[in-house]
Structure 1
Amino acid sequence: MTTLQEILQKQTNVKVIAPEIDYADYIAFDLSATTTDLLDLPLTDSKAFEEFVENYFSTSQAKVAYGGYLEHRNLYKRSTVFKDIDIEERNIHIGLDLWIKAGTPVLAALDGTIHSFQNNMALGDYGPALILEHHIDDCTFYTLYGHLSLESLQGKAEGQKVAKGEMIGTLGAPPVNGDYAPHLHFQIINDMQGKKGDYPGVSSKKELEFYKENCPDPNLLLKIK
């Protein structure tokens, strides 16, 4: 049986944002706890953080900042979505983030259908999110697109067909997108575990081994640099 990782590695020419921007114009962006603590970044001020992100890739003459898979982050401490008295703290990112301006087109990674969508409105959550279902060879898997605009969910229906490279939405601005600097959270999911319109994008240390298996590195598919 072909594994999901093998299927992802075989795919070529996959873009999920702004197809006109070449990967040569992407720059890696480290938002691990060590880095953000050292730089004293304004993580709770979305406007100030947005300015920091834009300055980061513009001064590097890049157009997109990317990264974050398996990063241990402090971004989530402000929200009870990721820690309260009843749950272990979740602070390890299991998707890949692509940081660019609000309104940037978001594209379907592969041919598929709309599995589900939802506006996840809690502080620090996805905001509008869309999940696609894909079937390749003998494998079914899913791609999640988080932090979209509200308009991205309009006219959508479960089961609706989408084509690889088709525009499925645009990036949202804070506070619509969960109150983050604009970016796409892109995640690959093997088993949705019965969830619809939402799936964890951040893991606790205790559950990390499961999520590493269920949510492989999105860069296996995107192949950025």
Structure 2
Amino acid sequence: MSFEATLKKHHFHPIIDTHYQFGKALIVDLSPSSDIWSQVNDEHDFSAEIKRQVAETNAVIEIGRYAEQRMIYQDTDNFSQSSNRTLHIGIDLGIPAGNTVFAPIQGEVVALANRQQQGDYGPVIILRHQLEGYTFHTLYGHLATSSLQNLYIGKIIQTGEAFAQIGTFAENGGWASHLHFQIIRDLGPHLDDYPGVVDPKYKTFYLQNSPSPNLILQRENLS
């Protein structure tokens, strides 16, 4: 059975409260052709427009799409030398800061860092997992600084264990509060990081190495 099929049939613990993970969602389109940009101006940025749409639709979570082309990163310090990175290869789960993050399956902490350059992950944690003969990783970005305090490389996190919290704008790399969640098969040379936005020129490799996080989230009608 393929890796993707193995994940799809497995029952994972929710990574955030089920009220959010499976609740009414605003699926956010941040691609260049999105209608959202017609509502954006100097006094009303895309984050404010997303919040307006959340209130209008009574959504409880904002979901940023996997494999989406975006042009929102190029004005940040983190992307100043890599303007060709525009393909988002995680899923963003927009919920209030302070909410708990849970392990979807038992894992080992293999990386943790506080990447504070504007536009970066802020606090980030990577777990390594084993499932039916496959080794893979999950990445959690834009966390609260306190999430790093009681962790260390090699620590085992049990299925469903609370191990992190969602960070604020002031600590999460300068973004509206959300969790960037990503699956990574092979970390390659990366020690405490893995890109969540990549050059579309390498799309085939990255989408194979980081398949859709919804294989673990398991929300209906979400790729």
1:26, 1:14 → 2: CA distance? 19
Q: Which residue of 2 aligns with 1:16?
A: 15
Q: Against the structure 1 CA distance between its residues 24 and 73, is the aligned structure 2 distance closer, same or farther, given a 3 Å change threshold?
A: same
SS of 1:140's equivalent? strand
User: 2:207 matched to 1:195?
Assistant: no
Deviations 1:129-180 (A, max 9, x none): 0000000111100000000000000010111111222111111111311100
> In the TM superposition, what is the alpha-carbon distance from 1:71 to its structure 2 partner?
0.8
1:185, 1:28 → 2: CA distance? 14
Deviations 1:6-41 (A, max 9, x none): 221012253111234461423322222222433326
Instruction: Give the counterpart of 2:176 among 181, 188, 212.
Output: 181
Instruction: Give the counterpart of 2:49 among 49, 52, 61.
Output: 52
Q: Structure 1 counterpart of 2:114, which letter?
A: N
Q: Taking structure 2 as the reference length, what is the TM-score of the superposition?
A: 0.90
Q: 4+ residue runs of structure 1 moved beyond 6 angstroms?
A: none
Greater shift, 158-167 or 144-153, is seen at 158-167
2:9, 2:71 → 1: CA distance? 34
SS of 2:186's equivalent? coil
SS of 1:177's equivalent? coil
Percent identical residues: 34
Deviations 1:193-223 (A, max 9, x none): 0312210000111111110110000012211
Q: Which residue of 2 aligns with 1:120?
A: 115
Q: Against the structure 1 CA distance between its residues 51 and 39, is the aligned structure 2 distance closer, same or farther, given a 3 Å change threshold?
A: closer
1:211, 1:150 → 2: CA distance? 28
Instruction: Give the counterpart of 2:216 among 188, 206, 221.
Output: 221
2:74, 2:167 → 1: CA distance? 22
Instruction: Give the counterpart of 1:163 among 147, 158, 164.
Output: 158
Map residues 80-95 of structure 1 onto 2, 5 A cutoff. Answer: 80-84=77-81, 87=82, 89-95=84-90
Q: Over aligned residues, Cα RMSD in angstroms?
A: 2.0
Q: Structure 2 counterpart of 1:40, which letter?
A: V
CA contact (8 A) 1:134 1:140 kept: yes
- Report how many aligned residue pairs link the two structures: 219
1:22, 1:150 → 2: CA distance? 22
Q: Which residue of 2 aligns with 1:208?
A: 203
